[in-house]
Amino acid sequence: MRPHIPHLDVAALPWEEILDSKAMRKVLSRDPATGSDTSYVKLPPNWQGPAGAHYHSDFEEALMLAGDVDLNGNDVLVAGSYLYRPGGIVHGWVDHSTSGAEIIIKMGTATDLISVGKPQHPYEYDHPSARKADGRPHIVHLKTAEAPWQPWPAAPGAARFKSLSRDTRTGAETMLIELVQGFAGAIKFAAEHTWEWVVTAGGMSLADGTAFNRFGYSHRSAGASADTVIAAAALGCTLLAWRD
């Protein structure tokens, strides 16, 4: 289980290289049992993925914050692009960034790159013996700017969200949440769920006085504390959030 993290400033974390790939990351949290982690990743200009066609043994999830990543010659991710790959999806034979990129990436296990040699298809596909059962669909490229906003049930008019992917087995969901500029009130995140978020724009304050600015991060395990209440967002706020 990941640790309970009430507040973390990503700027204070050290950089580390990912598997000699020239990609750098800051690990926001990690499950010591499974190796699953959430990271803020930077790719340098003219970055080329070193692995060739490969897959991971568990899921990979990513939201682009800036820059570009060419996945396969057809799908070029830019700011706002989202992907979700269940374990066993073959990808990575292009994997190039011209301008560099900033990405939030969540992995289902410790980062592994399992090579498959020459890909069988010119698109991402299930490895015939490695696909892992997953309640979420394979999402190659979701353009989140085109996805519709929905009112947040507990605070319509003050907050809204976009569902990026959802596990049909467990109800776990990844979403973008937006708080309107000038919000002051009370939006409750129930302690019965595990909540994880990173602020991608703006900032907010909780009822206990904790302030989250851009790249403020939290992982709040179910039952680890009382309900989380967002009390203010003077300049507005956007969160990439996970609810399990």
Q: Are 178 and 220 in contact (CB under 8 A)?
A: no
What is the mean pLDDT of the segment spanning 98-104? 97
Closest by CA to 205, choosing from 180, 232, 184, is 232
5-144 and 147-243 share one fold: yes
The pLDDT confidence band at residue 51, using thresholds 50, 70 and 90, is confident
The pLDDT confidence band at residue 122, using thresholds 50, 70 and 90, is confident
Chain segment 177-212, per-residue pLDDT in tens: 999 999 999 999 999 999 999 999 999 999 999 999
Residue 224 has a pLDDT of 81
H, E, C per residue of the chain: CCCCEEEEEHHHCCCEECCCCCCEEEEEEECCCCCCEEEEEEECCCEECCCCCEECCCCEEEEEEEEEEECCCCCEEECCEEEEECCCEEECCCCEECCCEEEEEEECCCCCCEECCCCCCCCCEECCCCCCCCCCCCEEEEEHHHCCCEECCCCCCCEEEEEEEECCCCCCEEEEEEECCCEEEEEEECCCCCEEEEEEEECEEECCCCEECCCEEEEECCCCCCCEEEEEECCCEEEEEEEC
Cα 101 from Cα 95, distance rounded (Å): 12
> What is the residue extent of each domain of the chain?
5-144, 147-243
Residue 166 has a pLDDT of 97
- Assign residue 10 a region (left: φ > 0; alpha: ψ between -120 and 50; beta: otherwise): alpha
Architecture per CATH, domain 5-144, reads as Sandwich (2.60)
What is the mean pLDDT of the segment spanning 203-223? 96
Instruction: State yes or no: pLDDT of 1 exceeds 90.
Output: no
Residue 70 has a pLDDT of 95
Residue 44 has a pLDDT of 96
What is the mean pLDDT of the segment spanning 88-100? 94
Residue 19 has a pLDDT of 84
Instruction: State yes or no: pLDDT of 123 exceeds 80.
Output: yes
Phi, psi of 92 (to 5 degrees): 95, 5
Residue 243 half-sphere exposure, CB side, CA atoms within 13 Å? 19
Q: Are 98 and 45 in contact (CB under 8 A)?
A: yes
Residue 226 has a pLDDT of 86
What is the mean pLDDT of the segment spanning 93-99? 93
Residue 133 has a pLDDT of 93
Higher pLDDT, 78 or 226: 78
Instruction: State yes or no: pLDDT of 244 exceeds 80.
Output: yes
Residue 20 has a pLDDT of 82
Instruction: State yes or no: pLDDT of 225 exceeds 80.
Output: no
Architecture per CATH, domain 147-243, reads as Sandwich (2.60)
Q: How high does pLDDT run on average in the chain?
A: 94
